[in-house]
Amino acid sequence: MLKKLQNTWFFNIRGDVLAGIVVALALIPEAIAFSIIAGVDPKVGLYASFSIAVVIAFVGGRPGMISAATGAMALLMVTLVKEHGLQYLLAATLLCGVLQILAGYLRLGSLMRFVSRSVVTGFVNALAILIFMAQLPELTNVTWHVYAMTAAGLGIIYLLPYVPLIGRLLPSPLVCIMVLTAVSIALGLDIRTVGDMGELPDTLPIFLWPQVPLNIDTLLIILPYSAALAVVGLLESMMTATIVDDLSDTSSDKNRECKGQGIANIASGLVGGMAGCAMIGQSIINVKSGGRGRLSSLTAGVVLLVMVVFLSDWVSQIPMAALVAVMIMVSIGTFSWASLRDLQKYPLSTNLVMIVTVVTVVWTHNLAYGVLAGVLLAAMFFANKIGRLLAIDSELINGTRRYQVIGQVFFASADQFVEAFDTRESLENVVIDLTDAHFWDITAVGALDKVVLKFRGAGTEVDLVGLNQASATLVDRFAIHGKPDALDQLLKH
């Protein structure tokens, strides 16, 4: 037990604590902005970020990953809040958590293995573009001081690691925020600060059960929103976990993460917070600042609450330019620059999947749509490729035509299978050798029926040999060529 605690909580105390502080500072404006998007008070997003970050530290399946209120989730709440109010949002958040826990027990986290590397790369690149685009409002129609502060912040972030001692002791994003805040206060610069984004809460969160009628009408109102929140939240969390796995060269429990996200969202709804999920930007900040264990997420949540409730006067003076510099660093670090170099050497299908994922996410600002488009396109390319791996040879021996089928027979190759047989050839016997073939679905079985019954309709005897057990089970269950009046059944179909 003590060894497990050491391996997951206390193996990197200094790195996790410092990284958690950096993440907490970056979470504040994000949580406020997402609250504004959803149409709720800033404290709803801040309380959500605090509770989700703290709870997920204990129950999540991916140490070092940061979860909080997110823009993708906020966009799904707008209509619900506008039409029914905050209390229905809190109820939807609770139901979202229940659905995510159920997904964890159904082991839906394992579905991530069906997401190809090109989809993940496209997802990451699209997110990097969206993170950068989100900073543009802070850099538009502003004074030169903002550009100077942002440039100085980027200089600190990228050059500090080369400074002896200091560069190794403190994360450069934290130093960037501290230095630029001090400069802004000392010079009295009239630039946008965290305090300009919205009022920070001055009290600790309290237990808050949603004040909604407990009936079927309420369920019908919140269920569509809760289901959408659960799907998008899990999708973004699973993608983020995969990316953090790669960054930290470790593995994670995706099904436990599904349950953890659900528990965290239930906790958020019970303290007046909105639904949230994993955040790729903040997770990358955490990893690049030295965070590796569960302590970093716990620190981020606790420090966030302490700062907004007890240190709000200081926090409100942090210049947005400092946080913009940090997020630009995240954008640059998130983008897979190698994917641009690899465009020339990777297959066209791989590049198209990546590009379609990027374009869909950037165009719709919906990560779920982009991943869905990428997965569907990758599946189509894969099915087309496997469908071409079918070879059918034949030879005539003593008046018997013998067909040798090699490859996979399924919906994408069924037509090719049928076209390979000359059912008009005048023969007494045909042998179809299926030793090196596999039938995957009822479309393949239907193709086999079509071939066999066409031969029999022409007066040719057909023998099927070498069918493996799995294919034989499928054929025995669904084929009609061995049943009475099989030809009539084929004509009906």
Report domain extents, the chain: 2-340, 348-386, 389-492
Distances (CA, A) of 195 to 100, 177, 203: 34, 15, 16
Mean pLDDT, range 116-139, rounded to an integer: 83
- The residue that leads in pLDDT, 152 or 384, is 152
CATH tag for 389-492 (out of 3.40.50.300, 3.30.390.10, 2.60.40.10, 3.30.750.24):
3.30.750.24
**% pLDDT > 70, the chain:** 95
pLDDT at 317: 86
pLDDT band at 379 (very low <50, low <70, confident <90, very high): confident
The answer, yes or no, to whether residue 493 has pLDDT greater than 60, is: no
The answer, yes or no, to whether residue 141 has pLDDT greater than 80, is: yes
Question: Which structure tokens are listed for 252?
Answer: 């994670």
pLDDT band at 17 (very low <50, low <70, confident <90, very high): very high
Neighbours of 473 (CB within 10 A): 12
Contacting residues for 198 by C-beta, under 8 A, at least 6 apart? 32, 35, 36, 42
| Pairing status of strand 390-397 against strand 400-409 | antiparallel
SS3 per residue for the chain: CHHHHHHHCCCCHHHHHHHHHHHHHHHHHHHHHHHHHHCCCHHHHHHHHHHHHHHHHHHCCCCCCCEECCHHHHHHHHHHHHHHCHHHHHHHHHHHHHHHHHHHHCCHHHHHHHCCHHHHHHHHHHHHHHHHHHHHHHHCCCCHHHHHHHHHHHHHHHHHHHCCCHHHHCCHHHHHHHHHHHHHHHHCCCCCEHHHHCCCCCCCCCCCCCCCCCCHHHHHHHHHHHHHHHHHHHHHHHHHHHHHHHHHCCCCCHHHHHHHHHHHHHHHHHCCCCCCEECHHHHHHHHHCCCCCHHHHHHHHHHHHHHHHHCHHHHCCCEHHHHHHHHHHHHHHHCCCHHHHHHHCCCHHHHHHHHHHHHHHHHHCCHHHHHHHHHHHHHHHHHHHHHCCEEEEEEEECCEEEEEEEEEECCCCHHHHHHCCCCCCCCCEEEEEEEEEEECCHHHHHHHHHHHHHHHHCCCEEEEECCCHHHHHHHHHHCCCCCCCHHHHHHHC
Q: How far apart are CA 240 and CA 66, in angstroms?
A: 9
Mean pLDDT, range 234-259, rounded to an integer: 85
Q: How far apart are CA 9 and CA 16, in angstroms?
A: 9
The answer, yes or no, to whether residue 71 has pLDDT greater than 80, is: no
Phi, psi angles (nearest 5°) of residue 202: -115, 10
Q: How far apart are CA 266 and CA 16, in angstroms?
A: 26
Mean pLDDT, range 107-118, rounded to an integer: 77
Q: How far apart are CA 455 and CA 452, in angstroms?
A: 5
pLDDT at 148: 92
pLDDT at 56: 95
- The residue that leads in pLDDT, 341 or 404, is 404
Q: What is the pLDDT of residues 413-441, one digit of tens each?
A: 899 999 999 988 888 899 999 999 999 99
pLDDT at 147: 93
pLDDT at 176: 86
Q: What is the pLDDT of residues 165-193, one digit of tens each?
A: 665 667 788 788 889 999 999 988 888 88
Amino acid at 482: G
The answer, yes or no, to whether residue 94 has pLDDT greater than 90, is: yes
Q: How far apart are CA 91 and CA 226, in angstroms?
A: 9
The answer, yes or no, to whether residue 8 has pLDDT greater than 90, is: no
The answer, yes or no, to whether residue 487 has pLDDT greater than 70, is: no
- The residue that leads in pLDDT, 182 or 31, is 182
pLDDT at 479: 83
- The residue that leads in pLDDT, 138 or 96, is 96
**406 beta partners:** 391, 436
Kindly report the average pLDDT of the chain as a whole number. 86
Q: How far apart are CA 92 and CA 103, in angstroms?
A: 16
- Top-confidence range, 85-99, 284-298, 358-372: 85-99
